[in-house]
């Protein structure tokens, strides 16, 4: 029976609360199962094979090498940052396209830098569909010398 907009459970041929709850319980796992696809399922994972911080005359060089062992090319943005106490951060950005199953490297020179200052290097790799990487250079810091 119905009273306006209310369906009563004692109505002949009506839906009982038990049937309604059982039907809802069966539909929930299906909805959850369909929406539980990981966001990184289609992500490309690259690795850094070089992250060297090297002395140069009155500056520093950062050598970055990226491996792509995937079946698709990876377009990455590499952000290299040098920081030092009392100094403004220096930052350079590279945009690289690394073919499938390939290696790509790049060198970035930060010069001139104040002599006698210790700089700390960090590298961040990002890109659409690329699993991000954040790490420090190797070694993590160097002192800028006159001759390098």
What domains are defined for the chain?
2-35 (no CATH), 46-143 (2.60.40.10)
| Four-residue CA torsion sign, 44, 50, 53, 54 | negative
Lowest mean pLDDT among 4-13, 59-68, 102-111: 4-13
- Interior CA angle at 80 toward 70 and 116, to 5°? 145
Omega before residue 112 within 30° of 0, cis = yes
In this prediction, residue 57 has a pLDDT band, given cuts at 50, 70 and 90, of confident
Q: Give the model confidence (pLDDT) of 64-120 as tens digits.
A: 999 999 999 999 999 999 999 989 999 999 999 999 999 999 999 999 999 999 999
Neighbouring residues of 139: CB distance < 8 A, sequence distance ≥ 6 = 53
């Amino acid at each position: 029976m119905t009273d306006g907009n209310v369906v009563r459970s004692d109505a002949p041929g009506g839906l009982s609360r038990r049937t309604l709850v059982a039907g809802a319980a069966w539909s929930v796992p299906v909805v959850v199962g369909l929406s539980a696809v990981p966001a990184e399922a289609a992500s490309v994972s690259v690795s850094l094979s070089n992250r060297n911080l090297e002395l140069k005359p009155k500056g520093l060089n950062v050598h970055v090498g990226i491996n792509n062992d995937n079946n698709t090319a990876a377009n990455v943005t590499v952000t290299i940052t040098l920081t030092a106490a009392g100094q403004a951060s220096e930052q350079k950005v590279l945009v690289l396209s690394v073919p499938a199953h390939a290696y790509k490297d790049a060198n970035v020179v930060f010069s001139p830098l104040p002599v006698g200052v210790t700089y700390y290097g960090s590298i961040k790799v990002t890109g659409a569909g690329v699993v991000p990487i954040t790490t420090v250079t190797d070694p993590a810091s160097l002192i800028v010398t006159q001759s390098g």
